[in-house]
Structure 1
Amino acid sequence: MYLSYTKINISQSCPVVESLNEQKRANQPETASLTAKIFAILFPSSPAVNALLATLYISGPPNFLLALCPPNIDPSSLSVMVAFAVGGLLGDTLFHLLPEIFVGEDSPDHVSFVMVEPNKNLLLGLGIMVGFFTFVAMDKILRIATGSEGGHDHSHHAHAESIAAVASGAETSKSGELKQRKSTKEASTPVAVPEKEINPSAKLGGYLNLIADFTHNITDGLALSSSFYASPTIGATTTVAVFFHEIPHEVGDFALLIQSGFSKRKAMGAQFVTAIGAFLGTIIGIAVQELGGNGTMLDDIEPVGLRGTSLTWGDMLLPFTAGTFLYVGTVAVIPELLETGKDKGLEIRKTIVQFLAVALGAGIMLAISWH
C-alpha cells in the first residue's frame, strides 16, 4: 500500500532514506520547466480551489469561441480536431492517470515507497471498469431515446445525419406543397417562401443532446477534482486534456443545436447552461474527496479503508475518471475517425492528417509528463 503521511515522516528519518533523498535532490534540475511555471501561475492554491479554476478554464473559453463559429458549420468537418483531442485524452490516461492510480506520483523532494496490498489493485481496476460502463450506459440510453444508431453526445457526425435527415424529410414535404401552390399561380406572381420548420423529432434530438452534454460535463468536473487531489501535476495535465477535448465537443454540439432549430444566440445560451454541469461535478468531487478521507479537512482522522484496504471513496474517483476517458477516447470517438468516403486518395490524405493530429495530442501529454 502507499505509506500514509505519518509513516512517510517517520521513514524520512532513516539514514538510508535521508541519503537517497539528498541524492535525488542533487540530481534535480535547479530551475523548473516552462510548463511547471505556467501551471504554478494557473493553479496557485489548494486542490479544491485549483479544481474550480480548472473548471472555469475548460468551460469559459470554448463557449466564447462559439461566437466565432458560423451557424452552418458541419460537425463532420471537425475530424482533425477530434483526432487531436483523442490523442490528448488517451495520452493523459496512459501517461498520467493510470500510472498515478497504480503507482503514485513522483515527488521532487523525497523518494517514494510502494508496498503491494492484496485486493487494492482489484478495486482500482473495478473503478476503471465502472467509469467505462457508466458511459456505455449513457450512450445506450441516448440511442434508445433518439432511436438512432449514433446517439452519444460525442457521435456528432452520426447524430447530425439523423437530425438532418428528419429535418430534410419535413422540408421535402413542404417543398412539394409549395410547388403545387406555385403551379396554380401566374409566373409573374411572387411566391412567398415559408419559414423553415424543424420536425419535432429533430428538436427532441437537440434537447436530448443537451441532457447528454450536461451529464458529460458533470463527469469532466469529477475528473478535474479527483486529479487535483491526486497531485498538482495530474490536475494540470488533465485540465489540458479536457480543454483540448472540449473545443470540438462544444463546437459539434453547437452545430447540432443549430440543425435542431435553435438560433445562434439560443444555442450559445444552452451551451453555457450545460457548462453548469462541470461546476456541479467539480463540487461533488471536492465533497467526496474532503469527506471521503482524502482532503485537508480530515487530516487528523484515520481514514476507514474500503473492503479492508487503505483505499477511501475519494481514491476511487481517479479510476472512474480513467474509465470515462478510455471510453470517450476509444469507443465514442474512434468510430467517427474510421468513417471513410469513396475518394480513396482524399481519404488517405485525411487519414494521415488525423494520425498526425493524434500523435500531436499524445505527444503534448508525453512532453508535459516527461518534464
Structure 2
Amino acid sequence: MLQIVFACFLVCLVSLSGGLLLRLFGSLLHSVIPWLLAVAIGVLLADALFHLLPEALASSATVWPVLSWLVVGLGVFFLFERGLNWQHRVFHRAYPPAMASFGWVSLSVDALHNLIDGALIATSFLLDPALGWATTLAILLHELPQEISDTAILVAAGASLKKAVGLNLLAASTVFIGAALVLSLGQILTLPVATLLAITAGGFIYIALFDLLPRLQRPVNIRVLGLQISCVAVGMVFIEVLHLLNAHH
C-alpha cells in the first residue's frame, strides 16, 4: 500500500518538471513556446498512435471496439471544447476568459491519462512489487516529455507559468484516484482499460491536430516550415527513444 502511494507521489512530482524547465528559459519563454507546441504535437501523436492505441488493442479481443472508442474520444473532446466555447461567449462577454478552451481540453485529457496511470501502477504492485516499480519507471520516463508539453500548452492557452504548474499538478493528482479505484473496486469492478486508453488516444489526437496544429505560426519561408516539421519529429523521436530505453531495461 505504501509503495503504491509513494509511486503515485513520484508521478505527481514529475508534473512539476515542465514548469521548472520552462522557468529556466526566463524571458525567452514566449519565443520558445511556439517551438515547444510543435514538439508537443509530436509527443501527443507518437503517444497516441504508437503506444496508447497498441496498448488498447493488446487489451481488447477485437479491433473494432478500440477504433469505435477512439472515434468516441474525438467526438467527446470536440463537444467538450465546443461547450466551453459556448460558455465563454455567454458568461464571459464582459471579462475575457483566463485561459483558452483548448487549455482546459488538454488538462482534462491529462487528468484522464494520469487516472489510467494510477490504475496501472496499483494493478502492477498487486501482482508483483518488482513489476510495480518497473511500471512506475516506465510511466515516469513517459511523463517527463509529456509534462513539459502539457505545461507549454497551458501557457500557450493564456495561463501564467505559475497557474500552469498548479493546474498540471492538480491533473496529475488523479493518479491517486486511479490507484484508489483499483484498490477499492478491483475485486468487484474490472476497469475497461482498453476503452480508457482509446478515449485518451482520441483526446491526444484531437488536441494535436485540431488545437495545436492551427496555432503554429504560419511559415514565412521553407526554413521555418522545415524547423516546425523538425520540432514535431523531435517530439516523436524523443518519446520513442525513452520507450525503447525502458523496454531494454
TM-score w.r.t. length of structure 1: 0.51
Secondary structure of 1:130's aligned partner: helix
- C-alpha contact (below 8 Å) 1:215/1:277 kept by paired residues: no
Q: Does 1:278 align with 2:233?
A: no
Tell me, yes or no, if structure 1 residue 56 matches structure 2 residue 27: no
**5+ long unaligned stretches in structure 1:** 1-44, 105-115, 149-162, 164-198, 258-266, 306-311
Determine the C-alpha separation between the residues in 1 that align with 2:88 and 2:99: 10
Give deviations 1:283-335, integer Å, cap 9, x for gaps: 33223344453xxxx4xxxx666xxxxxx434532222222212222222112
Q: Which residue matches 2:33? A: 78
Residue 240 of structure 2 is matched in structure 1 by: 366
CA contact (8 A) 2:77 2:203 kept: yes
RMSD of Structure 2 on Structure 1 (CA): 3.7
Provide, for residues 160-210 of structure 1, a one-character-per-residue CA deviation record: whole Å limited to 9, x for no partner: xxx9xxxxxxxxxxxxxxxxxxxxxxxxxxxxxxxxxxx9422xx116768
- The alpha-carbon deviation at position 82 of structure 1 amounts to 0.7
Matched, 1:246 2:150: yes
CA shift for structure 1 position 94: 2.0
2:199 corresponds in structure 1 to 320
Alpha-carbon deviation of 1:68?
5.2
Query: Per-residue deviation at 1:250?
Result: 3.7
Specify which structure has the higher proportion of helix: 2
Q: 1:137 to 1:291 in 2, by over 3 A?
A: farther
Unaligned runs of 5+ in 2: 125-133
Q: 2:51 aligns with which of 87, 96, 111?
A: 96
Q: Where does residue 95 of structure 2 map in the other structure?
A: 201
- Determine what percentage of the aligned residue pairs are the same residue: 20
Moved more, 214-223 or 138-147: 214-223
Change (3 A) 1:83 1:55: same
From 75, 81, 106, the equivalent of 1:139 is 81
Q: Using a 3 Å threshold, how does the CA distance of structure 1 residues 49 and 122 change in structure 2: closer, same or farther?
A: farther
- Tell me, in whole angstroms, the C-alpha distance in 2 between the residues paired with 1:316 and 1:290: 20
Q: 1:125 to 1:211 in 2, by over 3 A?
A: closer
Aligned length in residues: 230
Q: What secondary structure is seen at the aligned counterpart in 1 of 2:98?
A: helix
2:69 alignment partner in structure 1: 127
What is the one-letter code of the residue matched to 2:41? V
Q: Using CA pairs under 8 Å that are at least 6 residues apart, name the structure with larger relative contact order, 1 or 2.
A: 2
Distance 2:98 2:52 in 1: 33
For residues 228-252 of structure 1, the C-alpha deviation after alignment (integer angstroms, 9 at most, x for no partner) is 4587275245313422312312432
Q: 2:112 maps to what in 1? A: 219
Q: Secondary structure at the match of 2:211?
A: coil
Cα distance, 1:78–1:272 mapped onto 2, change above 3 Å: closer
TM-score (norm 2): 0.72
- The answer to whether the 8 A contact 1:93-1:326 is kept is yes
Could you list the per-position Cα deviations for residues 104-153 of structure 1 after superposition, in whole angstroms to 9, with x for gaps in the alignment? 6xxxxxxxxxxx84xx54333333333322321221112222349xxxxx
Provide Cα deviations, 1:266-288, integer angstroms capped at 9, x if missing partner. Answer: x4554354235314422332233
Shift of the 361–269 alpha-carbon distance from structure 1 to 2, 3 Å rule, reads closer
